[in-house]
Amino acid sequence: MPSSAAPRLNAVPRQTQTQRRSAGECRQCRTFCDKLVNPAGCLEMGCKFLYTYEDARTGGRFMGCMNKVFSAEIDFDLFLLAERAREGFGGIKMTGAPLPHCQFSVERAYEGDGPGHECVNRRFFDAPDETPESIRAFDLRNSIT
C-alpha cells in the first residue's frame, strides 16, 4: 500500500439514523403514537377501495384496502362476528397514506408526564395537507392558553 494513499475504511453498511416510518406511526417522543383505521367505517361508507374475495382453496372470505391504507387482509367472517360484540372489531394500524375520506383515530402506546412525553409532532393528528379534510384538526381551543 503506497504511503500517499488515504487509509481505507472498512466497507460496512451504515445504518441510517432515520428509519423509514410508516405513514401511521410517530416515534418523535416517548409516547409512540399510531394511527388506526376502523374497517367498519370503510364498510359503512361503502368505500370503493375496500375489496373482498373468497379464497378458493380454503373457502375463507377476506377483505382489504386497494390503496393499502391498511395492509392486512382481514378474515371477513371473523370481522362480522367481532362486529356483533359490543366493542366491535376495532381499529387496525394504518400503513399507508390515508385518503381524504378515511376515518382514523390516534392511539398512544405510552402515557407519561414530563417533557419526554410531550407531543412534538402535533400535525400527526391531522389529515394530510393535500386533502380537503386537512383542516379538520384545526381548533382554536388548542392554541388558547
The pLDDT value given to residue 55:
93
Within 10 angstroms of residue 137's Cβ, the number of other Cβ atoms is 13
The C-alpha atoms of residue 132 and residue 130 are separated, in whole angstroms, by 7
The C-alpha atoms of residue 71 and residue 92 are separated, in whole angstroms, by 9
Q: pLDDT tens for residues 74-132?
A: 999 999 999 999 889 999 999 988 888 888 888 888 888 888 888 887 777 776 655 55
Question: Residue 9 region, left (φ>0) first, then alpha (ψ -120 to 50), else beta?
Answer: beta
Q: pLDDT tens for residues 28-49?
A: 888 888 999 999 999 999 999 9
The pLDDT value given to residue 4:
57
The C-alpha atoms of residue 140 and residue 142 are separated, in whole angstroms, by 5
Beta pairing partners, 54:
61
The C-alpha atoms of residue 44 and residue 67 are separated, in whole angstroms, by 18
- Domain residue ranges in the chain: 25-132
C-alpha cell at position 37? 383505521
Residue 74 phi, psi (nearest 5): -100, 135
